[in-house]
Amino acid sequence: MPETPQSRLRAESLIRDIPDFPIPGILFKDITPVLADPEAFREVIARMGEETKALGVERIIGIESRGFIFGTPLAHQLNLPFVPIRKPGKLPYEKVRREYALEYGTNTIEMHIDAIAHGERVLIVDDLLATGGTAQAAGHLVEHVGGTVAGYCFLVELAFLKGRERLNNGAVVSLITYE
């Protein structure tokens, strides 16, 4: 959808840049002011729902931890089940795991083995798309247990890091893009 002055999100004016966080050389996009503004947060969740409704998803997945913040209200709005993807050691039942590269290191995520039914269409939600490693790893977990990635949804995309190019197994929706 082409951006018009009416379609610009209030959240865009609230996101602030934090230089050298979490390590020197990284310009961190701080979304906490969006969370502190109920009107902006409601608008973000509503727009995520509008932009992803046509994907025909049956389940929402949120990536720890900020993906939970956006994924759970989106699942509620769309009347869909929510699945958390977590860091190691946080889920109590049998799980699958995937290690992946970040723009400044590596990490691992896990998901319950029975979180998604075979063939179920899911939407993976997180706050930010950077290099795409975390979202790609989440997509691999979904496919490993037999699910289908219908798409990915992010509040922010750092397009210059080309993370979208790694997500070739579903639609990619980003509400705010930084070139």
Q: Which residues are catalytic?
A: 66, 103
At 37, list the tokens. 């503004």
At 178, list the tokens. 């930084």
Q: Which residues contact 120 (CB under 8 A, 6 or more apart)?
A: 58, 59, 146, 147, 148
Burial class (CB in 10 A: 0-12, 13-18, 19+), 177: middle
Residue 101 forms beta bridges with which residues?
A: 106
Rounded CA-CA distance 157/155 in Å is 7
Cα 163 off chain centre by: 12
